[in-house]
Structure 1
Amino acid sequence: MQYRPVFVLGEVQKPGQYNYLPGMTMETVVALAGGYTYRAIKNPASVVRTEGTPDGRPMKGKISEETYLAPGDVITIYERFF
């Protein structure tokens, strides 16, 4: 059995698709993506989640580095403005 991947967009070194592992947090997926860029805001980030929502429609919210992810999540790391 294989889980749906998670996706990381925005201010990480290697944005893209990564295999989901049970217990994965935002911090671990950012580490898999090579870490933050120098322009990244580390907290909060944005997530779009479709897995486990009551009506099956995507939900969008803000998460921190300690937040557990679900298969299929799409995480966006924001860019800071100077």
Structure 2
Amino acid sequence: MDNKNKLNFIQFRKEEIAYAIAKEKNKNNKLIQKQKEKELPIYKKSLFVNLILTSVALIIIIGLLLVAFYIGKTL
């Protein structure tokens, strides 16, 4: 039984080391991706950020058009 526990512990440690290596590689890949993104022009950076900013701009434009329509209708 003692040998089985040692083998299980060794297997556990191997898996733990493999996980740590994979986690570090993933972290390095994310850092490299962020560095590449910072080098790009603003329009190529992040799709998510671009979509959010575009949505905000459209909401502001629609709001201004509605205000202008309301002011034009009341005058």
TM-based fold match above 0.5? no
Q: For the superposition of Structure 1 and Structure 2, which TM-score range results when normalised by the shorter chain?
A: under 0.3
Q: Which has the higher helix share?
A: 2
TM-score, structure 2 normalization? 0.22
Tell me: higher relative CO, structure 1 or 2? Use CA pairs within 8 A at least 6 residues apart.
1
Using structure 1 for the length normalisation, give the TM-score.
Answer: 0.21
